[in-house]
Amino acid sequence: MKDLKVDDVIRDFFRNPEHFADMMNAILYGGQDVIKPDELQRMDTSEIFVGNYISRERRRDVIMLWKGKDSQAILALEAQDQVDFTMVSRTLLYDALTYNMQDKEYKSYKIMPVVSLVLFHGEGRWTAATSLVERMDIPESLKGMPNDWKMKIVDIKDLDYHLLKNEDNRNIVKTVNQIWRKEKEDFKGMEVSKTAARVIAILTERYDILEQVKGEEETMAMWSFWKDIEQEGKKKVKCKY
């Protein structure tokens, strides 16, 4: 595990158009099949985040160009495991640079909307600001004058897994919720793919799972995982970021 990059596991999973489209449809359209996988095109974040603006900052996890039947948009997904008060300003910077990229590359009067979602998968609830104004100490004389910007954040624990049609997505959301809630009885008879198991391990910091996906089996029994970590005192294995 020493070479494992946490961000890479999530990024690689959602760079799959089927995973990405299904998750976006669940969050944005209540599970309706609006965004099609074959309408998505991966965008290279290195072509967007250039210069010295965020040379030492983390870049977006996944960003896709959506060429729908009737419209086009740029869709972005960022996974976040910690409550971070800087997230709102950082996401604004990401969006601003993406709009700036359109100005430079497409040179068109009309630009595509950028829809950014932050998927919070940490324990507890998001308690930090979701808008710029929430972070400001505004004097009475300037009330209502600063431009505001709101961040779209989704807590994975609030997602209804029934809205997801992709089996890996559905199993990930269902399992993550059960792990945080310690509803281990629901794991009986449940198996997930190794691809889903890796993402579950990252999203819940249960790096024990990663040791169990090295075999030749195509799936992993979640109940056996729970029994193993109970015997080990539910000890988490540290992972090098």
The full length of the chain comes to 241
Mean pLDDT over 11-23 rounds to 95
Q: Are 94 and 60 in contact (CB under 8 A)?
A: yes
Residues 6+ apart with CB under 8 A from 123: 180
Burial 61-72 (b: 16+ CB within 10 A, else e): bbbbebeeeeee
Domain coordinates of the chain in residue numbers? 1-162, 166-241
Average pLDDT, the chain: 82
Which range, of 16-20, 35-39, 50-54, 62-66, averages the lowest pLDDT?
50-54
Share of the chain above pLDDT 90, in %: 46
pLDDT of 197 above 90: no
List the end-to-end C-alpha distance of the chain, in Å, as a whole number.
Answer: 10
- Nearest residue to 162 (alpha-carbon basis) of 60, 26, 10: 26
- Nearest residue to 76 (alpha-carbon basis) of 101, 38, 43: 43
Q: What is the pLDDT of residues 170-186, one digit of tens each?
A: 999 988 888 777 666 66
Mean pLDDT over 126-151 rounds to 93
pLDDT of residue 228: 55
Mean pLDDT over 4-9 rounds to 68
